[in-house]
Amino acid sequence: MMNSQPGILEPIPNHGKYLFFDLLSGGNAAQSLRLLAEVVDGDDIVVGIGRSLALRLGARVPGLKSFPVRSRAHIDIPSTQSSLMCWLRGTDPGDLFHRARRVRALLEEGFVASDCVDTFKYGSGLDLTGYEDGTENPTGQAAVDAAIVNGKGPGLDGSSFVAMQQWLHDFGKFEALSAIQADNSIGRRLKDNIELEDAPESAHVKRTAQESFKPEAFMLRRSMPWSSTDTKGGLFFSAFGTSVNAFEAQLARMIGDEDGISDALFKFTRPISGSYFWCPPLHEGRIDLRAISL
Ligand code: HEM
């Protein structure tokens, strides 16, 4: 699909910065968004619109909802839904810093910054636990089919829905696991990334096996590690889809909705944020905001 924001389908960059914004009370969101649209090409910056922003503009994007709070015994899935998300992608943290300042300046009439997460590529694309992340991602046309809306008409075709969660790892707990316990938590072997045939039902890749859902729950993960201090870090999870249905089905199974078995990941990591956004398509190289009345 040529008119999707290219940064969605491309491999993760070496560095990323996620900027989140809330609506400024009494501000001019439409004007700010128009200014942003003039500089966004969907590649260096991927933009996502939250439900409250669409509603503020008097629009309804079919399928765009707010991230729901979920809880089970010992598991909390928080929602930190904001109005607008900009994923800055690049190779140089200094460059990202200055681009973030420019984006904030463009948006100041209509939005207030609510969060900022710095991310990076670790090794060949590893989670900070050392496990390779993204192995079973769809590629080529399958990635387009999983992530990019098609057949819904102009303004919607080429768009994508993204689910985002910042996960905070407890490295003390992770490192207290034996090598076998850690491999069983993921369901793959750290040393060679081979999938374990006899992994327990709680293994992460057993919980989330995309073809095991009805309908199949394929999505395109573009997660990146994050860190904020010497000791705090984890995975900034993001998954693009033609809706958020695949993500919701997987998360439900991860927290044990189906069979009471929760994902072994929760032994050493937990989400501290959660949001959904609709990433508009491109038109003539700029984001196409027709679907939200701009
Ligand atoms: C801290 C959080 C997470 C970590 C560290 C993590 C890590 C991993 C790793 C190492 C793999 C195996 C390699 C691969 O295929 O990518 C994997 C697979 C996968 N993960 Fe996660 N993941 C996390 C959260 C999530 C969440 C929240 C979801 C969805 C709700 C999810 C969905 C998937 C899917 C769909 C697969 C591929 C399963 C398959 O079809 O084989 N992950 N993850």
What pLDDT shows up at residue 260?
Answer: 97
Mutate to test the pocket of ligand 1, among 132, 133, 218 (most ligand atoms within 8 A of CB): 133
Does ligand 1 come within 6 angstroms of the Cβ of 251? yes
**Residue 169 is inside which H or E element, if any?**
strand 160-169
132 SS3 class: strand
Q: Give the residue among 257, 175, 261, 271 at the shortest CA–CA distance from 223.
A: 271
What pLDDT shows up at residue 2?
Answer: 73
- For the record, the structure tokens of 32 come out as 């700010």
What pLDDT shows up at residue 94?
Answer: 98
Mean local confidence (pLDDT), 142-150: 98
Residues in the chain: 294
What pLDDT shows up at residue 16?
Answer: 98
- Under DSSP, the state recorded for 292 is G
The pLDDT tens digits of the residues spanning 75-103 come to: 999 999 999 999 999 999 999 999 999 99
The answer to whether residue 1 scores a pLDDT higher than 90 is: no
Does ligand 1 come within 6 angstroms of the Cβ of 269? yes
**Cβ distance 21 to 84 under 8 Å?**
yes
Give Rg (Cα) of the chain. 19
> Which amino acid makes up residue 144?
V
Q: What percent of the chain has pLDDT over 90?
A: 98
Measured between alpha carbons, how far is 47 from 112 in angstroms, rounded to an integer?
Answer: 16
Provide the pLDDT confidence category of residue 229 given band limits of 50, 70 and 90: confident
Sign of CA dihedral 105, 107, 108, 109: positive
Does ligand 1 come within 6 angstroms of the Cβ of 135? yes
Does ligand 1 come within 6 angstroms of the Cβ of 245? no
What pLDDT shows up at residue 188?
Answer: 98
pTM above 0.85, yes or no: yes
